[in-house]
Chains A and B, each alone.
Chain A
Amino acid sequence: MSDATIQTARDAGLVACTQCGRVHGAQETMCVRCGAALSSRDETSLQRVWAWWFAGLICYIPANIYPMLKTSTFGSELDNTIIGGVIELIDYKSYGVAFIVFFASVVIPISKFLAIAYLAYSVQYPTTLPGKVRQHLYETVEFIGRWSMIDVFVVAILSALVQFNFIVNIHPGIAAVSFALSVAFTMLSAQSFDSRLIWDADEDRRT
């Protein structure tokens, strides 16, 4: 079926619920089916996306500089940053796990920053990727974001487990906090994005 035959709720002068799909008259403000707030398009969406995006980016910097993990062995202390932890795993020859940690704490956060920025940019300025691809990109970002938390959990488990007073002790570092915040902020950034904007921009370009 060609795109020309598709009519949106907004075209029809209606407003749809993004939670349950129920269609309402334009003046309704609350969904009669599920009680969610209604708005044809979320005008503040992009502002919120960028605000959370910058907050996330700011937290991501100290997360990489400061230690994530503090290991003290017989009184001598060793600090590990995120990258340091990955390198240590490679030294242990656990390449698979090193890859998982690297992917979750470096590749996913950085590509998420880029992807959200691109999506927010693409609804205001002309871009080349078709709507379907950008919709997929958005869904991927939403799905994958939470997996960045792996490293924070690893640190928590290690610190709970490795508590042998004088022999070896592991404590969490301050980077664990800023990394967790960074992940939470980028998740909020992705959730603030109104995916209907992708398709509006697509339509405007054709006409």
Chain B
Amino acid sequence: MTAHDPALDALIACPACDALHRDAEVPVGEQARCRRCHTVLMAPREGAMTQIVMLSATALMLMVAAVFFPFLKLNVAGLEHSSSVIDAVLAYSDGLLVPLSVALAALIVILPAVRLIAVIYTVGPMMTGYAPLPAAEKAFRLANALKPWAMAEVFIVGVAVALVKVAGLATVSMGPAFWAFVALVLVTTLKDTFMCKLTVWKTLETRRQ
């Protein structure tokens, strides 16, 4: 059997439970679900590619602001101390806790950024109708594999909890980076809801030929 057996092209298997389905064209705006385990197989949307790229680019720019601008400002008895996301990452940077510092930098900043860049790299050329760039498949697989490890939204909830904890101790005010980060989380979530993995893969495959 060759790799391009036409009979196999007409089939699609549910990634979660392995049930076979005929690969029918799904109308825009509708969802195709696995008939056994009800996992969403495809959910194409009008203009999704453009939206994904634009939202990813927005998120990437917000990320730069979120990392370098002051994040929170603390005021205790006249003493002021402001810190950026970089400071939070470096909080673990003494002695034994260095690996944790590296891990935090990865979870909060590096992995989300890599993921956004990988998505733009894959979907960007397809948005404008060009053929995919070399190794676009690798980039998109990387983006999918990193999804659980990009924890920017968890970090935001952590910030909220930390604020409550220090509220009794000092006056806290939010810096511009805080709002940039909140916007970043919203934009990334929006991008993820627009993105239909299977549709992107199928488009990648057709554009390659």
Contacts and interface: CB of A to CB of B under 8 A. Distances in A.
Contact of A34 (B14, B17, B74, B201): B201
A12 B16 contact: no
A59 interface: no
Interface in B134-193: 137-138, 140-141, 144, 148-149, 151, 154-155, 157-162, 164-166, 168-170, 172
A59 to B, nearest CB: 13
A81 interface: no
A35 B96 contact: no
B15 A177 contact: no
A16 B166 CA distance: 52
Given A16-B18, A22-B12, A157-B159, A177 B99 contact: yes
A121 interface: no
Given A6-B36, A9-B13, A35-B138, A23 B20 contact: yes
Contacts of B79: 164, 167
A154 B159 CA distance: 6
A177 B94 CA distance: 13
Contacts of B76: 164, 167-168
Interface size class of A (residues with CB under 8 A): 35 or more
Given A32-B4, A34-B137, A34-B201, A19 B168 contact: no
B69 interface: no
B24 interface: no
A100 B16 CA distance: 31
Interface in A98-144: 100-101, 131-132, 135, 142
Given A3-B36, A157-B158, A176-B100, A135 B151 contact: no
Interface string B1-32: 10111001001111111111000000000000
22 contacts: A6-B20, A7-B19, A8-B20, A16-B14, A16-B15, A19-B144, A34-B141, A97-B160, A100-B161, A146-B148, A147-B154, A149-B158, A150-B154, A156-B91, A161-B72, A164-B76, A171-B94, A172-B97, A174-B96, A176-B97, A187-B149, A191-B148
Interface of B: 1, 3-5, 8, 11-20, 35-39, 41, 72, 74, 76-77, 79, 81, 83, 87-92, 94, 96-97, 99-100, 103-104, 107-108, 137-138, 140-141, 144, 148-149, 151, 154-155, 157-162, 164-166, 168-170, 172, 197-198, 201-202, 204-205
Interface of A: 1, 3, 6-12, 14, 16-25, 27-28, 32-36, 85, 88-89, 92, 94, 97, 100-101, 131-132, 135, 142, 145-147, 149-164, 167-168, 171-172, 174, 176-177, 180, 184, 187, 191, 195-196, 198-199
